[in-house]
Every structure is written in C-alpha cells, then in structure tokens.
Amino acid sequence: MTFDLPWDPEMESPATVLIIGGGPVGIEAAIYARFLGYFVSIFESRRVGHRMLDWHDRPLALPVSQVTTPLGHAAIAAQNPEYQRPDPNRIFTGREYAEEYLIPLAKTDLLFDDIHFLSPVADVSRIRTHRRDPIHLQDRCNDEFRVLVQGQHRGPWIARGDCVIDCRGHSIEPIGMGPGGGLAIGERDHENDFLLHAPGDRKHEPKHLNGKHLGLIGQDAMACQCVEDWLQRFPPETESRLTWMVRPRGPYDSHRYSKLRDSIESTSPRNLVCLETLGVESLARQENGKFRWKLLKEDDSTVELETDLAMRRTGYRYRSIGCELHSHADHWVGANAHSEWNAPTFVTAEPGYYVIRAGSVNGHSIEEGAGAGLPAAFEGIRQVFAMIGGREDLDLYKIIQQQSGSS
Ligand SMILES: Cc1cc2nc3c(=O)[nH]c(=O)nc-3n(C[C@H](O)[C@H](O)[C@H](O)COP(=O)(O)OP(=O)(O)OC[C@H]3O[C@@H](n4cnc5c(N)ncnc54)[C@H](O)[C@@H]3O)c2cc1C
C-alpha cells in the first residue's frame, strides 16, 4: 500500500481527530484513534447507533466476527471484566448489535466523555486557509479544522481539530427523486411529509399503512428492504396497496433489486404494482392530503399518480434534524483525486479530511443487507490510521487479536 499524495498525511499524537457520525463506523474509528493515543471528539446528530436500533429485529447480513472488531471487544472487556464476548458465529439483530456491542463500546471511559450526541455538524472549514484560497495542499494540511456544531442542548459551538473523519453513513449523498437523481419540483417542500420507516423498522407505525396506498420511489438496498418488509406484512388479500416507482431495468441494477423484481413479476401480487419511470418531475399535496406524483416516462411523456402516502428511498439524506453539512471537502470528494494520486477512496482532495462509509471501501457492496459493508469500513479505518500514523504495516486489529490469543 503506497499512496502518492501531494501532502504529508502523517500526524503525530497528541493531535485531535474530529469524527462526524456516531454509527458503527464512527465509533470504531474513534476507538482506533484512542488506542493510538489521539484525542477524539465524536459528533452525532441523534444518538449512538440509532440506525442500527432502527434496523430493529431484522438480522444483520454477517456474523459477529465480521461486524465487530478485536479492538472493540478489548475496550469493552477492559471496562467490564464480566463481559462475555459473543459467539463469533452468532448473527446479531440490529437492536442486539447496538445494545450488546456498540452502545457498551461508546460508554467505555475511552470514549464516553468525547461523544457529543444531539450535535449535528453543520459546517467544516479551516481556521486560516480560506475555502477559495489557491490551494497549497501542504499549507492547508498544516492548518487546523474548524467545525460548527449545532448542539440541540448547548446551541451552536465550535470545535477544532487536526483531521476530520466523516462517518455519516447514508446521510452523505443527496440523491433526489427526480430524473438523474436530481430534485423533483416540490421535493424540498415535502421533506417532512415522507414516511420515514419501513414496515420492519423499530419506529414503524403499522396504522400508517393499513388499508392505504403507498407510493415508494427508489431501488437501492433500503428500497428493496422496504418492499420485502411490505410484502411480508401485507399479503395480496389485504387492502393495503403499494406502487413501487423504479427506473427502467438496466445494467447497473443490483443483484438484490433484480431478484426482487423477478420474484414480483413471477408472482404478480394483486396489491403491488411496479411502475417504471425515469424519475419524479413533481410532487404536490392535494387539499384532501393525498400526494400527486408526476412521473417522467422513457418516451418523454408524463404520467400522473395519486397515493395516500409517500416514501422516498433514493439515497437522499436520511433526515438529520434539518442540518446539512457544508464542507470544502464535499466539493472535492471524488474529484479526479483518486486516479491522479493513486489514492484510496477514503481520501478526499481536502488534506486531512477522510470519508469512511460502510460499503464504500475498495468497492465492497452493501447490497447484501445491514452490516454487510462493515468489514470494508473497518479495513478503511485501518488504512486511514496506517497513513496518519506513518506506518504502512500498522494494524491494531491484528495486534490486539494476537495479544488476546496469547493471554
Ligand atoms: C432503513 C434502514 C436501512 C438500512 N439499510 C442498510 C443497507 O442498505 N446496508 C447496510 O449495510 N446497512 C443498512 N442498514 C443498517 C445500518 O444502518 C448500517 O449497516 C450501519 O448503520 C452503517 O454504519 P455507518 O456508521 O456507516 O452509518 P450510520 O449507522 O448511518 O451512522 C452515521 C451516523 O452519522 C450521523 N450523522 C449524519 N449526519 C450528521 C451530521 N451532519 N453531524 C453529526 N452526525 C451526523 C447519523 O445520525 C448516524 O448516526 C439500514 C438501517 C436502516 C434503519
């Protein structure tokens, strides 16, 4: 692993790592940083692991050995000598994962005081280097980060640090429901009207869907999950209806999506229709409260549809308490940085700003279900700290595993 970056990413401790997001990836990144002797601050818009808690009683896609790390278990065991490591072959549900692993980890002395919950990050910049300054990458790298936190209790405040690890999970990509992933007319106005929870989620309220017509747009893993949940809960003889708006079949369809479409087409449930569209041109709410969708078809015509309820699963930001993150790095992530510099995907063109997502590292896919992308994210964490620590072979996971094996 030799990366040829136009700045020196090495960072000696003491230094402060700012972590955005208190999901499985953010918490693991934080514990890794603490074991290496860095100070950390973790900012979470809501509460630690709330997405896994929402995943509720559905099983994760991978066993304990792959969704947890030796470092995490070692930290919990150091705090609580009674801690029984779970069977590595066991499959946690989302709730068990949060309650038996993630939250105990967040409560260890190593992290507890450094986690700021109900604290969405609204903005990231540098102290001395202006966003628009001609970029001297090494100078930018030497400058501190400034993070604006919109604390729910404390109000707005500023944190400073030497590097930022962005672990916002699905919240990162703002993909709208319009054609090409753009915004539909009216999409922003109805931000608070969309149904948020799939039938298998912790917070789903069954009364919402009983006897109602739901319009669902999107075909990513979350959309598929929602349809699978819906099919389980509403067999064809029920009055609840689903119109699933999807793009015409194409080469980029995931395996999971294709399988689900095939199975729907072969069984043709009476109360589920798949409607192919390039995207939503506009969405409006009528006086009777119903949603009116205008959909663009492949032949450039439009078709209108009325539903009682609306759900968007296009990969749009999972609602983060009305707070959108603006950061210089946002404009740079994915810029030709990676090909030019032989850089891994977690490096952005903003020196010291890293993005680690479950499923985003080295092309691993998250299509297989909850937690499927975590091993790739843990590998991303290892690589980030090998880079920051200036030691290519640094692998705390291996070291801790060897230590616990020999003790
Ligand atoms: C509806 C639903 C669908 C799911 N679909 C999948 C799936 O398709 N594949 C999969 O692997 N898992 C899925 N999961 C399971 C699980 O959520 C993920 O595997 C896991 O949470 C990913 O971990 P993460 O740390 O990358 O992201 P998350 O758990 O999403 O953690 C990111 C955290 O960042 C916080 N955050 C966001 N923006 C900000 C901000 N500006 N400031 C501060 N904090 C911020 C969020 O509140 C969140 O807690 C799903 C869960 C649910 C409830």
The C-alpha R_g of the chain, in whole angstroms, comes to 22
| Amino acid found at 367 | E
Mutate to test the pocket of ligand 1, among 170, 204, 368, 384 (most ligand atoms within 8 A of CB): 170
pLDDT average, residue stretch 84-104:
97
Whether 270 is covered by a domain: the verdict is yes
User: CA of 132: how far to CAs of 126, 136, 165, 323, 327, in Å?
Assistant: 11, 11, 22, 23, 12
Ligand 1 atom closest to the Cα of residue 201 is 53
pLDDT band at 360 (very low <50, low <70, confident <90, very high): very low
Residues 282 and 346 in one domain: no
Is 284 found in the same domain as 343?
Answer: no
Q: What separation in Å is there between the alpha carbon of 218 and the centre of ligand 1?
A: 17
At 279 the pLDDT is: 96
The length of the chain, given as a count of residues: 407
Measuring from atom 6 of ligand 1, which residue has the nearest CA?
370
171 pocket-lining for ligand 1 (C-beta < 6 Å): yes
Tell which one of 41, 92, 168 to mutate to probe ligand 1, the residue whose CB is within 8 A of the most ligand atoms.
Answer: 168
Tell the residue number behind the tokens 């492949």, with chain if given.
298
The 3-class SS string of the chain reads CCCCCCCCCCCCCCCEEEEECCCHHHHHHHHHHHHCCCEEEEECCCCCCHHHHHHCCCECCCCHHHHCCHHHHHHHHHHCCCCCCCCCCCCCEHHHHHHHHHHHHHCCCCCHHHEECCCCEEEEEECCCCCCCCCCHHHHHHCCEEEEEEECCCEEEEEEECEEEECCHHHHCCCCCCHHHCCCECCHHHCCCCCCCCCCCCCCCHHHCCCCEEEEECCCHHHHHHHHHHHHHCCCCCCCEEEEEECCCCCCCCHHHHHHHHHHHHHCCCCEEEEECCEEEEEEECCCCCEEEEEECCCCCEEEEEECEEEECCCCCCCCCCCCCEEHHHHHCCCCHHHHHCCCCCECCCCCEEECCCCCCCCCCCCCCCCCCHHHHHHHHHHHHHHHHCCCCCCHHHHHHHHHHHC
Q: Are residues 29 and 90 in the same domain?
A: yes
Q: Based on the domain organization, do 245 and 197 belong to the same domain?
A: yes
* Percent over 90 (pLDDT), the chain: 67
Range of the domain at 154: 16-172+318-406
**Which of ligand 1's atoms lies nearest the C-alpha of 368?**
9
Centroid of ligand 1 to alpha carbon of 23 (angstroms): 6
Q: What is the pLDDT of residues 303-334, one digit of tens each?
A: 999 999 999 988 655 444 445 566 655 555 44
Q: The domain spanning residue 219 has which CATH number?
A: 3.50.50.60
208 backbone dihedrals φ, ψ, rounded to 5°: -60, -40
Q: Which of 32, 51, 124, 323 to mutate to test the pocket of ligand 1 (most atoms within 8 A of CB)?
A: 51
Q: Are residues 165 and 185 in the same domain?
A: no
pTM of full prediction above 0.85: yes
Residues 280/190, Cβ–Cβ less than 8 Å: no
Higher-confidence residue: 365 or 358? 358
Last residue of a domain, one of 261, 291, 312: 312
The total number of structural domains that make up the chain: 2
Nearest CA to ligand 1 atom 3: 222
Average pLDDT, the chain: 88
Cβ 73 under 6 angstroms from ligand 1: no
Which residue owns the Cα nearest ligand 1 atom 50? 370
Residues 123 and 57 in one domain: yes
Q: Is 333 in the pocket of ligand 1 (CB under 6 A)?
A: no
Residue 81 lies in a domain: yes
Judge whether 7 lies within some domain. no
Check whether residue 254 and residue 396 sit in a common domain: no
Atom of ligand 1 nearest to the CA of 120: 42
Determine the Cα–Cα distance for residues 307 and 292; give it in Å rounded to an integer: 7
Q: Please give the average per-residue pLDDT across 117-125, as a whole number.
A: 92
Protein residue with its CA nearest to atom 7 in ligand 1:
370
* Per-residue model confidence as pLDDT tens digits over 161-212: 999 999 988 655 667 899 998 999 999 899 889 998 999 999 888 888 999 9
Q: Answer whether residue 364 shows pLDDT above 50.
A: no
In a domain, 3, yes or no: no
Residue 287 lies in a domain: yes
63-67's contacts with Cβ under 8 Å and 24+ in sequence apart are 63/88, 63/89, 63/90, 63/91, 64/88, 64/89, 64/90, 64/91, 64/92, 65/89, 66/371, 66/374, 66/375, 67/24, 67/92, 67/97, 67/371, 67/374, 67/375
Residues 79 and 156 in one domain: yes
50 lines ligand 1 (CB under 6 A): yes
Residues 305 and 332 grouped into a single domain: no
Angle at 45 between CA 367 and CA 379, to 5 degrees: 45
Provide the residue type at 56 as one letter: H
Question: 181, 321 in Cβ contact below 8 A?
Answer: no
Of 312, 341, 358, the residue that ends a domain is 312
Most confident of the ranges 55-64, 136-145, 350-359: 55-64
Asked if residue 1 belongs to a domain, the reply is no
Tell which residue, 28, 90, 85, 87, has the closest CA to residue 59.
90
* CB neighbour burial string for 321-342, b if at least 16 within 10 angstroms, e if fewer: eebebebbbbebbeeebbeeee
The reply to whether 277 and 322 lie within a common domain is no
Residue 399 lies in a domain: yes
Regarding predicted confidence, which is higher, 375 or 317?
A: 375
**Is pLDDT at 232 greater than 90 in this prediction?**
yes
